[in-house]
């Protein structure tokens, strides 16, 4: 089936987009505040659709990638999607409740409440690297908050896009949830619609285009972007443990993970030990990496060439490139590779790597990695390896990043009760868990005046009563 796959017709997808947008707007107007039971039913239908179609979805992603480990798809995409839906289902009643807020003495006995209200029709733009999780995560939050949702899948994952469209069309009317495919021109057109909220996941560069397009309509955006996420290993931390956890984060999906460790700071003198340990874990996890089904491919030849270009550029500028396994490039895969003696003139230290290449830098005092990180755009994730709480707190206070992993990489993304989102160049806004629900809700403040109240004392004509009151109020 996959060999026969026909790419989507972008013109036709644009027409669907226009059509479905109107349909979703009408559907939302007819049901602007879906009841708890309706939202619950949407979450339950979503969960069943994913579980029922899991094989087709994983096979489609693998075909789009050339090869994507089916276990990785289940572990890193399906599992967090299902766990997120379950968490949301459990918490939904609580999140939907209006919240009482305080009233100052001057306005008593009025009452204040914040009501979470559905925003309307939400747009979601998805990148290719985790196409399932990065579509379902935002969808879960937006449905829980009572919205209609339209999702644009990346042109790099058309087979997956078609599989998802089919899976969701079985359980949802397209007026509730719609999946759009097609080329970049469809994505561009999509970002120009007036959404009640637009969540974009992708690169920092494209994020700027999306925000510009959204600005024309004052569409509020959440931008989940990328960047270079550093790791720092303290001299007291066991180097083999750090190597194992960093390489795990680097090798998942062949490094094509937004929160993958991008580069690592190792204490001076421990570099060789780190590389030996990294090589050992790669050999243990991926014997015969080129054929090994557990090791994923680079998504396409353009990205493979980009990564090989980083290595050549680094080597030409004096770096030492050391593959940790033997992998023939004809396999569409790239070996996990460390790069030593790097500097900021090399593209590998300028661009987000987004592949299984790990530059290894060394430091003498902790100020060096901290100063380096602070002199560069704010990372999406920061990983610090240390068992000393005082030093951990120092690192947390000295750096600003989207999220932090202490003594672990990547796992913070899968925590249902932690918000997820970048800062500065790595993005803006949050989703996952309660923050996701709030992102897709208008948290509407409502002030309700009481039948009997004292506001009349503050109305004109201003005489001695107001003067006395003001004296008291402005103390
Ligand atoms: P990308 O920015 O090239 O594309 C992302 C999406 O935007 C795709 O669906 C694409 O079709 C669409 N697009 C492209 N041009 C557009 C335009 N002008 N207007 C509107 N939409 C447009 O990113 P990618 O290569 O698919 O994904 C990799 C990047 O995404 C990396 O930088 C990675 O760090 C980042 N990422 C971030 C997160 C996160 O949660 N923060 C997660 C995954 C990936």
pLDDT in tens, 106-126: 999 999 999 999 999 999 999
Going by the DSSP 8-state scheme, the letter that residue 420 receives in this structure is B
pLDDT of 216 above 80: yes
Residues 333 and 410 in one domain: yes
HEC per residue, 189-251:
HHHCCCCCEEEEECCHHHHHHHHHHHHCCCCCEEEECCCCEEEEECCCCCHHHHHHHHHHHHH
First-to-last alpha carbon distance for the chain, in angstroms, is 77
Among 406, 421, 436, where does a domain finish?
421
Domain count, the chain: 2
Cis, bond preceding 346 (omega within 30 deg of 0): no
Specify the residue with its C-alpha closest to ligand 1, atom 12: 187
Backbone angles phi, psi at 441, to 5 degrees: -120, 150
Residues 175 and 153 in one domain: yes
Query: pLDDT value at position 7?
Result: 84
Which ligand 1 atom sits closest to the C-alpha of 427?
Answer: 41
Which ligand 1 atom sits closest to the C-alpha of 213?
Answer: 19
Query: pLDDT value at position 5?
Result: 82
Query: pLDDT value at position 330?
Result: 87
Residue 422 near residue 225 (C-beta atoms within 8 A): yes
Specify the residue with its C-alpha closest to ligand 1, atom 39: 224
Per residue in 245-286, pLDDT tens?
A: 999 999 999 999 999 999 999 999 999 999 999 999 999 999
Q: Does residue 61 sit within a domain? A: yes
Q: Ligand 1 pocket by C-beta < 6 Å: which residues?
A: 125-130, 134, 152, 154-155, 184, 187-188, 191, 201-203, 206, 209-210, 224-226, 258, 352, 354, 380, 422, 427
Dihedral, CA of residue 15, residue 17, residue 21 and residue 22, to nearest 10: 10
| 201 CA from centroid of ligand 1 (Å) | 5
Per residue in 43-54, pLDDT tens?
A: 999 999 999 999
Compute the mean pLDDT over every residue in the chain, rounded to the nearest whole number: 97
Given pLDDT bands bounded at 50, 70 and 90, which one contains residue 2? very low
Residues 198 and 266 in one domain: no
Query: pLDDT value at position 432?
Result: 98
Distance CA 128, CA 139 (A): 16
- The yes-or-no answer on residue 258 being catalytic is yes
Residue 214's Cβ-side half-sphere holds a number of Cα atoms within 13 Å equal to 23
Specify the residue with its C-alpha closest to ligand 1, atom 26: 127
Q: Does residue 342 sit within a domain? A: yes
| 106 CA from centroid of ligand 1 (Å) | 50
Residues 310 and 435 in one domain: no
| 115 CA from centroid of ligand 1 (Å) | 33
Query: pLDDT value at position 442?
Result: 98
Q: What percent of the chain has pLDDT over 90?
A: 97
- 162 or 6: whose pLDDT is higher? 162
Residues 220 and 274 in one domain: no
Kindly report the CATH number assigned to the domain that includes residue 115. Answer: 3.40.605.10
Q: State which of 77, 206, 350 you would mutate to test the pocket of ligand 1, scoring each by most atoms of that ligand within 8 A of its C-beta.
A: 206
Residues 215 and 272 in one domain: no
> Which residue among 176, 224, 231, 352 is the active-site one?
224
Residues 120 and 246 in one domain: no
Which ligand 1 atom sits closest to the C-alpha of 205?
Answer: 2
Per residue in 28-41, pLDDT tens?
A: 999 999 999 999 99
Average the pLDDT over 60-84 and give the result.
Answer: 96
Q: Does residue 132 sit within a domain? A: yes
Q: Does residue 407 sit within a domain? A: yes
Specify the residue with its C-alpha closest to ligand 1, atom 34: 226
Average the pLDDT over 323-334 and give the result.
Answer: 92
pLDDT of 220 above 70: yes
Q: Does residue 472 sit within a domain? A: no
pLDDT of 355 above 90: yes
Residue 363 near residue 412 (C-beta atoms within 8 A): no
Residues 402 and 279 in one domain: yes
Query: pLDDT value at position 4?
Result: 67
Q: What percent of the chain has pLDDT over 70?
A: 99
Distance CA 300, CA 91 (A): 40
Partners of residue 264 on adjacent β-strands: 231, 360
| 225 CA from centroid of ligand 1 (Å) | 7
Query: pLDDT value at position 3?
Result: 53
Nearest to 43 by CA among 79, 95, 85: 85
Distance CA 160, CA 3 (A): 13
Which residue bears the tokens 């709480």? Answer: 389
What is the residue range of 34's domain? 10-225+427-444
| 205 CA from centroid of ligand 1 (Å) | 9
């Amino acid at each position: 089936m996959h060999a026969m796959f026909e790419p989507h017709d972008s013109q036709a997808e644009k027409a669907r987009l226009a059509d479905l947008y109107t349909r979703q707007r009408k559907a939302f107007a007819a049901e602007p505040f879906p009841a708890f039971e309706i939202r619950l039913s949407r979450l339950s239908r979503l969960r069943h659709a994913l579980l029922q179609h899991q094989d087709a979805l994983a096979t489609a992603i693998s075909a789009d990638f050339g090869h994507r480990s089916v276990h990785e798809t289940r572990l890193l995409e399906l599992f967090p999607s299902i766990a997120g839906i379950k968490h949301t289902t459990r918490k939904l009643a609580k999140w939907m409740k209006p919240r009482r807020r305080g009233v100052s003495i001057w306005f008593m006995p009025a009452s204040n409440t914040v009501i979470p209200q559905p925003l309307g029709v939400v747009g979601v733009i998805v990148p290719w690297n985790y196409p399932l999780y990065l579509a379902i995560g935002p969808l879960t939050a937006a449905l829980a908050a009572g919205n209609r949702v339209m999702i644009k899948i990346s042109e790099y994952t058309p087979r997956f896009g078609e599989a998802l469209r089919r899976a969701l069309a079985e359980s949802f009317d397209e007026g509730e949830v719609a999946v759009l495919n097609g080329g970049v021109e469809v994505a561009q057109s999509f970002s120009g619609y007036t959404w009640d909220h637009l969540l974009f996941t992708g690169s920092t560069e494209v994020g700027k285009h999306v925000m510009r397009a959204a600005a024309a309509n004052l569409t509020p955006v959440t931008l989940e972007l990328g960047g270079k996420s550093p790791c720092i290993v303290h001299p007291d931390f066991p180097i083999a443990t750090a190597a194992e956890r960093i390489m795990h984060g680097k090798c998942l999906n062949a490094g094509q993970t937004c929160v993958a460790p991008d580069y690592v700071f190792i204490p001076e003198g421990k570099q060789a030990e780190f590389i030996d340990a990294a090589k050992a874990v790669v050999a243990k996890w991926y014997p015969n990496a080129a054929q090994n089904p557990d090791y994923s491919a680079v998504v396409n030849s353009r990205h493979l060439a980009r990564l090989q270009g980083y290595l050549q550029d680094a080597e030409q500028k004096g770096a030492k490139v050391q593959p940790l396994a033997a992998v023939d490039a004809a396999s569409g895969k790239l070996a996990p590779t460390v790069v030593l003696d790097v500097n900021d003139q090399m593209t590998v230290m300028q661009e987000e790597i987004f592949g299984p290449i790990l530059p290894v830098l060394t430091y003498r005092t902790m100020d060096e990695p901290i100063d380096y990180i602070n002199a560069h755009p704010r990372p999406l994730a920061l990983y610090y390896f240390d068992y000393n709480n005082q030093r951990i707190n120092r690192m947390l206070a000295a750096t600003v990043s989207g999220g932090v992993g202490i003594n672990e990489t990547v796992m913070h993304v899968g925590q249902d009760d932690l918000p997820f989102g970048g800062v500065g160049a790595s993005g803006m806004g949050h989703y996952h868990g309660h923050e996701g629900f709030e992102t897709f809700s208008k948290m509407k403040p409502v002030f309700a005046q009481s039948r009997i109240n004292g506001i009349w004392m503050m109305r004109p004509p201003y005489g001695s009563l107001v003067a006395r009151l003001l004296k008291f109020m402005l103390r």
